[in-house]
């Protein structure tokens, strides 16, 4: 952990993604102090006919709306605002330089240690918590 989800329109090449993976992993090591073995990155690509925002399909919207790349970072809680700010700046540069992203939206989702859901059942520190 952390896990990074990248949402955007189809287009970047496999080489661009490889470079992005190296750069993002390095930024996570530098700013979140995790080893590369812990960093997971997933790409979710769609075309303009399968994504909509603000009531418009991406193929019909203004160019700015079509050029948004969303990045969600799932990580254990406890990172400081300065760590998140530094990582955000680094990721914006990386995505602009290597992924042709014109507008990058970054969300941090903090995970509480010990909480896990599996098949709709909640576990805390490995113990099943029944529904009440």
Average pLDDT on 26-53 reads 88
Look at the block and give the residue holding tokens 């918590």: 129
Instruction: Name the average pLDDT for the chain.
Output: 82
pLDDT of residue 125: 60
Q: Which of 48, 65, 42 lies closest to 11, judged by CA? A: 48
99 touches 8 (CB < 8 A): yes
Q: Which of 33-37, 43-47, 76-80, 95-99 shows the highest mean pLDDT?
A: 33-37
Confidence of residue 120 (pLDDT cuts 50, 70, 90): low
Query: Domain span at residue 52?
Result: 3-129
How many domains does the structure of the chain reveal?
A: 1
Q: Contacts from 89-93 at CB under 8 Å and sequence distance 24+?
A: 90/27, 90/30, 90/31, 91/24, 91/27
Top-confidence residue, 49 or 121: 49
Q: Which of 61-65, 116-120, 127-131 shows the highest mean pLDDT?
A: 127-131
What CATH number should be reported for the domain holding residue 55? Answer: 3.30.429.10
């Amino acid at each position: 952990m952390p896990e990074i989800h990248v949402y955007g329109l189809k287009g970047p090449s496999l080489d661009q993604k490889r470079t992005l993976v190296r750069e993002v992993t390095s930024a996570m090591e530098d700013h979140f102090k995790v080893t590369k073995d812990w960093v997971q990155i997933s790409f979710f690509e769609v075309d303009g006919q399968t994504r909509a925002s603000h009531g418009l399909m991406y193929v019909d919207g203004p160019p700015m709306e079509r050029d948004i790349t969303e990045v969600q970072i799932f990580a254990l809680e406890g990172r400081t605002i300065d760590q998140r700010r530094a990582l955000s700046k680094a990721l914006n540069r990386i995505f602009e330089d290597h992924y042709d992203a014109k507008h990058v939206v970054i969300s941090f989702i903090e995970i509480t240690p010990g909480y896990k859901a599996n098949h709709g059942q909640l576990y805390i520190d490995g113990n099943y918590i029944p529904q009440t």
